[in-house]
Amino acid sequence: MNDNWNPVDQALPRSLTVRETLMSDLFAGARVEAGHAGLDREIRWVHVLEVTGVTELLHGGEMVLTTGVGIGACLEKQELFITSLLQGEAACLCLELGPGLSVLPPKWKKQADRHAMPLIVFPHTVRYVDITHELHSIILNRRRAYQEALALESAQRNADSRMLRLLLDNSWGAPGADSAQDALLKDAADSMIGALDGMNCKIVAAEWLAGSGNRSAQAAAELAADELRRKMRSAGCLCIADAEGGRMTALIAQPERAAAVRLRLEELAVDVLAASVPGFCCGASSRFSSRSRAGEAKRQALEALKLNRSMLTARVRSMGTAESRQILSYDELGVLQLLPSLLESGRLEPYVQDHLGPLIQADRLRGGDLLMTLKVFLDCDGSKQEAARRLFIVRQSLYYRLERIQELIGPVWADCEKRLAVQIALRAYMLLEPGALPAVPIPRSGSSNAKAGAAQR
């Protein structure tokens, strides 16, 4: 990995605060007399003011320097001056005690503390022109650096987006867009993509359906993409991430190929996403080590994301909570890997009806639990005792339900091929009807809850 400093990977330049200015040599000997709670206020500009009605002269965030010449000992002028500063949302007030104002007005201290506006006193003569010159230089330099960092970050996002399109969709961008910048990006993309061969790679797709806090889904995805780039690269991984329409797609890769490293890649990605913008649903592809597999890996990640989202919907419907597993890997899907292609071909629903149609109709007409009973019974490998325990029913109730299932679709559990076909149909039904078969908690053996549930049924 390149160890050179990358401005995009660093925190954006901070605004100048009151606390920072106090560390300057120009503020040597200055005392904070009040408003200590506001020391982290941002200073946007510096003004020297010697008049009382200053509200209209302020835009907010100014450090105000004064000697009190235009105020003096007049209580009315003192009150008007401090009130004007507070109404104008000044960042702080710096006062040079002297002939203009020899004593700090007590009301100023009370007002400054109440509104957390730092009140700084110079007990000696100060060259305000030096203060304004130095602070204005710092403020302007930081603004310029901030704009440059934003431009670099925007360029990084654009480059990542185009590289991912080229790698995952074999598409560079708009037809005819072949500028000198495009040529440079293509060269960089070709070089990076060529380095993927032999690396341990994953595609991760995450979605924010409602964003987080006050953020929109798109803003949440962009923030997560930025954080993922920074953290994964600092961990020694190659990472390209893009956000669009509330979804983040990322390629993460590492030269090592050990199983422990493969696990760490996913753990790192999930930790970063959870720490930056919670409330996401995520899917990950199988590991691949050839760029020719990147397009297929994207399909895998999106299918895992879709199934994880279906599980989330099921939990919301059945348990009233939006919590879901943070990430679902394509490797964990097993036979479910086959279902999305059947769904797209229009063959999945007929398959479900062929194997489960009578049970679906019976449950809908009578509000029964035959589908759930069959699923749990098959998941327990035909153990009636364990199935009754998981369903919180007595065994006689389970026998009755199994007899009813046998009347409608036959003893499917008696034949291994039919049992497998029905188990696939049950998973397909869960994909077609999210939440129709809610998750069944597995009670601990001998627990009071299990016994109480069985007694009630």
pLDDT of residue 175: 44
Domains and CATH numbers, the chain: 18-137 (3.40.1390.20), 198-332 (3.30.70.3400), 337-456 (1.10.10)
Closest CA to 238 of 247, 249, 229, 226: 229
Mean local confidence (pLDDT), 29-44: 90
Is residue 397 scored above 90 in pLDDT? yes
pLDDT in tens, 375-391: 999 989 999 999 999 99
pLDDT per residue over 157-191, tens digit each? 566 676 677 677 655 444 444 555 556 555 655 65
3-state secondary structure of 410: coil
Instruction: Identify whether the C-beta of residue 210 lies closer than 8 Å to the C-beta of residue 274.
Output: no
Q: What is the mean pLDDT of residues 270-290?
A: 83
pTM of the model: 0.52
The pLDDT tens digits for 91-146 are: 999 988 887 787 888 889 999 999 999 999 988 888 888 888 888 888 888 887 77
Residues 62, 64, 65, 70: what is their CA dihedral angle, to the nearest 10 degrees? 150
Q: Are 43 and 14 in contact (CB under 8 A)?
A: no
Which alpha helices (DSSP H) does 63-119 contain, by range? 75-87, 106-115
d(CA 121, CA 27): 10
Surface-to-core class of residue 61, CB atoms within 10 Å of its CB (0-12 exposed, 13-18 middle, 19+ buried): middle
Tokens standing for residue 201: 């790679």
